[in-house]
Amino acid sequence: MRNINTYLKWTLFMLLTAIVLVAKARALCPQQKSNEGEVILDAKPANKNGLFKTGEEISYKLSVKNTYNEKQEGKFSYIITSDDGKKIFENTADFSIGAGSSKSLSVKVAPKGPGFYHINFMFNLSAYDDTVRKVFGVNPEAITSELHKPDDFDQFWQETRRQLSKVAPQYKVIFRPDLSTKYKKVYSVEMKSYENLLIRGWLVIPTDGSKFPVHYRVPGYVVELKPNMDNDDYIAFDINVRGNGNSKDVVHINTDNYSTTNIQDKDKYIYRGVYMDCLRGLDFLYSHANLGIDTSKIFVEGGSQGGALAVVTAGLDKRVKVLTMQVPLYADIRDNYSISASYKEQVVPFKMFRQYKNRHPEFSWEQFYTTFDYYDPQNFAPMVKCPVLMGIGLLDQFCPPRCSMALFNHLGSTNKEFVCVPNSTHEVDFNYFMFQNLWVREKFRIP
Amino acid sequence: MKKLILSCLCMLVFIGANPYRSFASWPIGKYRDIVIPSMFLYHQTDRFDRNGHRVKGDPGAGFTSYSANLYVGYGISRRLDLIASVPYVYTQNKFANGDKVTNQGLGDLYIGLSYNLVNFNYVRYLSVQVSGIAPLYNRNVELGLGNYGAELKLMYCGNLPKSIASKGYFNTELAYRRYFDVQGPDQLSLSGTVGYPISHHDQLSLELLFFRSFSSNKAFNPNINNARDYAFFKPSLNYGHQFTRRFSTFIGGYYTPFGKNTGVGYGGSVLAIIKI
């Protein structure tokens, strides 16, 4: 009996202790949590792709979630600016949201003219400050830009192509069993290009068939292309232009200086040879139909610098039957200059151009354009007559959407489409590539 | 009625037969064409009664049909396809007393439009198809129900997760068909297909079909072309081989393990898919 009482007392003591500890812990918790939490913001445009028609009401739906254990109070404001940083509209209002609750806001913007606009949603609350940055476009197919095409532009490129034609390609096609698979044969390809410079590429031929359309890929900015093993239905040809990937024997320049190499002389500017490298790649494809290449079905593709190279290739050479490009670098270079001037931190490509100019104070922007007007992909766009698909990212600073669309609108093709990815920066998304695959199949009538 | 069954079964075999999405519920693709000739065999000796009990057929009695079917699909736009199917049917109904009734001729023309409602990242597709059915034979010839009809079908298809099979796919269909006659029938079908690659060029697909036909005419007819009120469950197994990107062939077999007021059917099919 005595043991039982002792046991009960001990149990009672333990229970009381536990209750006191739990109560203390619960009392402490709100104090700890009051400093933990966040405000989760999301802004979605009424039109999923962030594009609106002229005169159409532009609106965003904002969802705000407060995970703090205390009410958040402060200001909500939004600012609309042009893509080159000019303020167009600003609005501020008081805002509060209860602890642990959610709220929705609708923001309507007065109709705008054709162009792209930045809209920043800012929340300055008791314990949380944040800004959600979005971009929307209005009737982008009506965007215009001035072409600064030099009078002798066509002659310049005709002469350049003439010089290329004088270079004996000396093609070498080297089978690489170490890289091949049961279903893909991989070849390393070498050829001499403009100014007799050696460049290389990768040819991947499916073993499952005798004749294939060609996916001809041109590279991004100092990006190494490797054998493309992804597609069963195409021969994949990836070329590394001079200074890229395995074509660095002579031209081996870092990313900071690549785009400014010989910028002061239009005849020696690096992209003269680079553009010709892409055409030499086409020469290779056309001279090797015996490998199963269907020369009537060559589509050229590239992203960023590759987008520029792709449009130049399709503009200069009608052997390209279909063009797909994403976020084409250098497009509408003069407007890109104006837009990039508003950036807090410089990005490609004007990061390099401005660095160069800082190092060469005597070099003027006019001199820059004297050279670059021969190379702006936009000036090649009217010469593109084949079907075109372009993808852009609305948040792209490297290739501002306005510049990409200016190029797009200058394309000489009547069969052209673009895809806008609203939350992408200098890239497109998986969906774009899925669509691109179907789109190219449609153009080539590939089953 | 037999023709109806044949049409349904042919369609299902086709649906499961394509290893690379050239058929089933995927949009055909703008300007693309698909032509699918097929041969189909159906045979029954025994039957299921109204309670689903298997009833042994009379010795020497049975029903057999052969059909050649031509299916054509054309992609009008990225979302809209025109499809048409015409069978040529030969049937033979043998009775226990040795009598035979044979019929042959064109069956029901099946023509419709398929529209892709939603694509989910170009990986999965939800589509709707509206079709009309028109008999191409004299109503006195038992090659089908002999009535005009219409069908509404909802289709959902897509790739299997890559963790399961990188080129595997699934296809599901829910269809309602109505024949414009006082006896109907109204028909509901639900099918599910899974295709699984077994090699670079070969695949196996399994189809499961639940079919129910409702009518005020409850009579059992050994010629299933003319039956109106019945139900069955039918699994099919198909093997497909891709010769080229534009030409594939398939062979399949099926059996009816459960049914009501219908035959214990079994048979097979051979078909080719030609992509133009």
**Block residue for tokens 């009625």:** B1
Comparing A295 with B163, the larger pLDDT belongs to A295
With H, G, I as helix, E, B as strand and everything else as coil, classify residue A204. strand
Q: For chain B, what is the mean pLDDT?
A: 87
Per-residue pLDDT, B22: 45
Say if residue A28's pLDDT is above 80: no
Alpha-carbon gap: A275 to the closest alpha carbon of chain B (Å): 34
Alpha carbon distance, N-terminus to C-terminus of chain A: 90
Question: Closest partner residue to A431 among B32, B122, B201, by Cβ?
Answer: B122
Per-residue pLDDT, A8: 52
Cα B143 from Cα B122, distance rounded (Å): 40
**Tally of CA atoms within 13 A in the half-sphere of B33 that contains its CB:** 6
Chain A contact set for B33 (CB, 8 A): none
Per-residue pLDDT, B200: 87
Length of chain B: 276
Residue from B21, B22, B28, B122 whose CB has the most chain A CBs within 10 Å, to mutate: B122
Per-residue pLDDT, A1: 43
Per-residue pLDDT, A32: 41
Alpha-carbon gap: B90 to the closest alpha carbon of chain A (Å): 33
Contact predicate B79/B29, CB 8 Å: no
Q: What is the reported pTM?
A: 0.87
Residue from B30, B34, B74 whose CB has the most chain A CBs within 10 Å, to mutate: B30
Contact predicate A319/A286, CB 8 Å: yes
Per-residue pLDDT, A2: 46
Per-residue pLDDT, B143: 86
Per-residue pLDDT, B19: 38
- Strand A212-217 relative to strand A235-240, pairing: parallel
Q: For chain A, what is the mean pLDDT?
A: 92
Chain B contact set for A445 (CB, 8 A): 31-32
Give percent of chain B above pLDDT 90.
69
Comparing A10 with A310, the larger pLDDT belongs to A310
Assess: ipTM above 0.85: no
Residue B78 in contact with partner chain A when CB distance is under 8 A = yes
Give percent of chain B above pLDDT 70.
91
A48 phi/psi in degrees, rounded to 5: -55, -35
Alpha-carbon gap: B122 to the closest alpha carbon of chain A (Å): 6
Instruction: Place B162 in a pLDDT band, splitting at 50, 70 and 90.
Output: confident
Residue A56 is given by DSSP the state P
Residue of A64, A93, A63 lying closest to A78 (CA atoms): A93
Instruction: Place A324 in a pLDDT band, splitting at 50, 70 and 90.
Output: very high
Chain B contact set for A438 (CB, 8 A): 29, 78, 122
